[in-house]
Amino acid sequence: MRFWDLVSLISENLRRRKGRVFLTAVGVVIGTAAVVLLVSLATGLQKSATSNLWGITDLSRIDVYPNYGEGMYMEAVPMGGGGGGGTTSNVKLLTPTVLDEIAAIPGVKFVIPRDYMYGQGMIQFGKFETWAGLMGVKTDNLENLGYELDRGSMELRKGTIVAGSWVVQNFYVPNLRPGQEMPELPDILDQRVKLKLTKWTTDGQEVSRTVELKVVGVLREMRNEADGSFFVSMEELEAWNTWFNNGQRINRNKNGYNDVIVRAESPEVVMDVTQQINDMGYMAYSPQSTVEGINSFFVILQVVFGGIGAIALLVAAIGIANTMTMAILERTREIGLMKAVGATNRDVLTIFLGEAAGIGFLGGLGGALLGWVGGYALNVVSMQFLASQAQQQGYMSTGLTADTPLWLLLFAILFATLVGFLSGLYPALRAATLEPVTALKYE
Amino acid sequence: MSEQPVIQIRNLRKTFTMGKQKVHALAGVDLDIAPGSLTVIMGPSGSGKSTLLYLLGGLDRPTSGTIQVNGRYLDQMDENDLGLFRRKSVGFIFQSFNLIPSMTAMQNVIFPMRFTGVSNKERQKQAARMLSQVGLAKRALHRPTELSGGQQQRVAVARALVNNPPIILADEPTGNLDTTSGFGIMKLLSKLNLEGRTVIVVTHDMRMCQFASNIIYLLDGLTVSEAEYEAASHFEIPEEEPEEV
Ligand SMILES: Nc1ncnc2c1ncn2[C@@H]1O[C@H](COP(=O)(O)OP(=O)(O)O)[C@@H](O)[C@H]1O
Ligand SMILES: [Mg+2]
């Protein structure tokens, strides 16, 4: 039998029993719509969850910290019988030698230590000022950290400073008279600011020191820790920290760094590099593992939701099997005739399987459409609700949204067709193996 | 020169098992049918006529014995081969027409061609030709319910012819028809026979015998001579007494 003959015969047969085909397909429509809507919800939740994640934009990044915990614990509990090795501390510090080792791991592009300022600083710009969350990074360009530039440049040299996206908005004018409007901050880019460092001597004397810096760049909002910081070169920061420490310089070979950013050559190798650094005994954490964890949670959610919908489809499958069994009883003589005029068993099997799959396909088509429209309607309603809430609260939060990817629609239609096909299997086999003579005599 | 028979049947048996009871519908039939002949099979109800016809057409399988059609043994074919055999070699005509009610006359005639690879255009042409051959060209778009019994059976004849099979098998084709339209179908079958087809007709109607090239009498699943058949009929079916009013 030729394919198009098959298709036209199947569609004729389905049209001949419109009412019943429609009722049977309604079951499939409901099941498919449930699958589409529920999986869309899970996908929508995943999207909003991922977009709410704090600054996971740079998937090549690994945060590495020294490992103190275990070593200190081991030292506190002396082993009976004594290990011969003369227990050197298990503390794993991030000394420059270690950083070189990490840099040598294949797939590592940059190893950049960071540090904070150990004292108080205030940045002054004209009559504006702000508390400075200052961070020193051991690189000459912030681009190496994966940061993104809004304007200016990200190069760090002696005497330059780069501002995070939010700190620019934190400048204020102190001692405003009541009722006086806060003036607007002029563009800070390429302007000179004063950094005023303050410390107290042991006898309570306030000592301060002022450094002049040029703002060479402002970062783009990345929703991570960079948004709230100013950046200077590590050398400069260490000089100020030495001043805070009363002239004592930190020995990195002895104390290591507390905070190191490793950037991998590509997101693909991140998990592997993270593992290797952990194996070396340091604490490596990649945002990607969070993303993966969240993603796998939502995959499970999708499967569970899809499964709930699939139960509805199972009920529909029983409906299809029932309809096909009825059809075969009613059309027994017709099956006999088909065989008498030369249809082979395979022809008959294919026709009835096709009819069952056809009901599944039609239901799947309707269900995919309904599920998609339903998700859209849900989004409209939820947007309206959120908008009314936003008026009260002053900000818009992400809420319940459905996200229907194309693959889901195609998959749902395919799946419904498969369900139809499988439900038709037994009835169609019975039709195909009917004895022609018995079928022709059937009343 | 003696022609090779188109159908050769040897010791054909068909036994139906109904629970513990066995029914020997055919109890060892030997039969040769010449090509181009019109064979009439006569016999009382339950004598095995339909069973024989279905076995000939490859619609059923014998319990034992052989059926040779055009040199091929039907009893050795698998389901698929039997399907193809029915498609190419035989056309069936039934007592109850077996038309598909939702289809027009034309569509019913086209139906067998939908399982073959014939092109759409060729189908239309061929079906129209068959319908005009049975005198129904003007009824092509009517559904079975809009046709008389005789017309429906003509549609069935056209359907049996549409794949151009060399053998036509008719199982009591006039059984559901009035005398006039029944006779029309008989003449139609005779015409097909005269065109060169081998026709085998199961019937009770004696008028068919005038067109027959040979007549086969069946009694209890066995072929018998005309004399034996006559004798049996006289014993078993006593002449009906005219009803007194
Ligand atoms: N499918 C069947 N199952 C059981 N018995 C059958 C079946 N088909 C036919 N028979 C029996 O076989 C015998 C011959 O039947 P059939 O060939 O239909 O007779 P006819 O066509 O001459 O009236 C009858 O006794 C009938 O009851
Ligand atoms: Mg019969």
pLDDT tens per residue across span A306-355: 888 888 888 899 999 999 999 999 999 999 999 999 999 999 999 999 99
Q: Who contacts B156 (Cβ-Cβ below 8 Å, separation ≥6)?
A: B93, B94, B97, B98, B99, B108, B173
Higher pLDDT, A317 or A396: A317
The predicted pLDDT at position A75 comes to 43
* pLDDT at residue B45 tops 70: yes
Ligand 1, atom 21, lies closest to the CA of: B50
- Could you tell me if A235 lies within 8 Å of chain B, comparing CB atoms? no
* pLDDT at residue B82 tops 50: yes
Which chain B residues are within 8 Å of A339, Cβ to Cβ?
Answer: 59, 83, 86
> For residue A400, what is the DSSP state?
-
pLDDT tens per residue across span B216-240: 999 999 999 999 998 887 755 555 6
- Could you tell me if B118 lies within 8 Å of chain A, comparing CB atoms? no
Q: Which amino acid is at A278?
A: N
Q: What are phi and psi of B225, to 5 degrees?
A: -75, 165
Q: Who contacts B31 (Cβ-Cβ below 8 Å, separation ≥6)?
A: B7, B8, B9, B12, B216, B223
* pLDDT at residue A276 tops 80: yes
> Which chain A residue has the Cα nearest residue B98?
A337
pLDDT tens per residue across span A41-85: 888 887 777 666 655 567 788 999 998 865 444 444 444 444 443
CATH of residue B177's domain is 3.40.50.300
Which token pair is B229? 């058949």
The total number of structural domains in chain B stands at 1
Buried residues in A77-86 as b, exposed as e (16+ CB within 10 A): eeeeeeeeee
The predicted pLDDT at position A400 comes to 66
Ligand 1, atom 1, lies closest to the CA of: A438
Q: Which helix (H) or strand (E) holds A376?
A: helix A345-393
Which token pair is A346? 């395979």
Q: Who contacts A73 (Cβ-Cβ below 8 Å, separation ≥6)?
A: none
The predicted pLDDT at position B95 comes to 94
Distance from CA of B209 to the nearest CA of A (A): 26
* pLDDT at residue A358 tops 90: yes
Task: Name the pLDDT band for A393 (thresholds 50, 70, 90).
Answer: low
Q: What are phi and psi of B98, to 5 degrees?
A: 55, 45
d(CA A239, CA B191): 118
Task: Name the pLDDT band for A89 (thresholds 50, 70, 90).
Answer: low
Report ipTM (2 d.p.): 0.91
Adjacent-strand bridge partners of B201: B40, B170
d(CA A212, CA A193): 6
Q: What is the pairing mode between strands A230-233 and A134-137?
A: parallel
Ranges of each domain in chain A: 3-54+293-441, 61-286
Ligand 1, atom 7, lies closest to the CA of: B16
B105 located within any domain: yes
Q: What is the pairing mode between strands A206-219 and A192-200?
A: antiparallel
Q: Which helix (H) or strand (E) holds B39?
A: strand B38-42
- Cβ-defined contact of B59 to A440 (cutoff 8 Å): yes
* pLDDT at residue A114 tops 70: yes
Mean per-residue pLDDT, A12-23: 92
In which domain, by residue range, is B90 found?
Answer: 7-229
> For residue A247, what is the DSSP state?
T
